[in-house]
Copies of this chain bind each other. A is one copy, B any other.
Amino acid sequence: MTGDTKELMTPMMQKVVANFGEMGSRWGINRTVGQIYALLVLSDVPLNADQIGEALCISRSNVSMGLKELGSWQLLSTVHYPGDRKDYFNAPEDIWQIARTLVAERRKREIDPTLSVLRDALMQTPQDERDVYAQKRIHQMHDLMEQLTQVSEEFNQLSTEQLTRLLKLGAGLGKVLDFKGKLTGKS
């Protein structure tokens, strides 16, 4: 129904897609899912499952699994064309929005449960000297993770424009910090 895909991916796209597949497997996302998403990010037009499978040389069912996973991560939107029943998928325009979603999902799935385990451990009564030390360490880890979580939440609430501005401060972060310290009178 919609025009064919010619060579599917240019050599440039192939390299980047392959790299993101590689990255994906290092970050606990499977290679195929990483490749699918990279392809959708790089592709000008939305793609259907058959096109994705053909471009990446994977089975239709594997594409379906991958899309299901990406969907559960809230990283896809779908488009339909008149006279064509197929679903066409694409990635958000705003690359920062993608990053925000990734951070938020990852936190929800991995950091939050760990924080909960750490909190449980902190509620318990130490059984011996070893537990006393362990709790000290658990407390440190808990605080660290909670603080980083809070910062990431802050980041996620900034608009893309604000974020860009913040990041452009670059080497100025330490200075802003010192300044703020003086401002509020905190040491």
Could you list which residues of chain A lie within 8 angstroms of chain B, going by C-beta atoms?
10-13, 15-16, 19-20, 23, 25-28, 41-44, 95-96, 99, 110, 113-114, 117-118, 120-121, 124, 126-131, 133-135, 137-138, 140-141, 144, 147-148, 150-151, 154-155, 157-158, 162, 164-174, 176-177, 180-181, 186
| A124→B12 contact, CB < 8 A | yes
Known A27-B28, A114-B19, A137-B41; judge A144-B12 contact (CB<8 A). no
Whole-angstrom CA separation of A150 from B181 in the bound complex: 22
Given A43-B133, A95-B137, A95-B140, 4 additional A-B pairs, CB 8 A:
A10-B131, A12-B131, A12-B135, A19-B113
Q: Are A176 and B165 in contact (CB under 8 A)?
A: no
Q: CA–CA, A150 to B164, complex, Å?
A: 12
A168 to chain B, nearest CB (A): 8
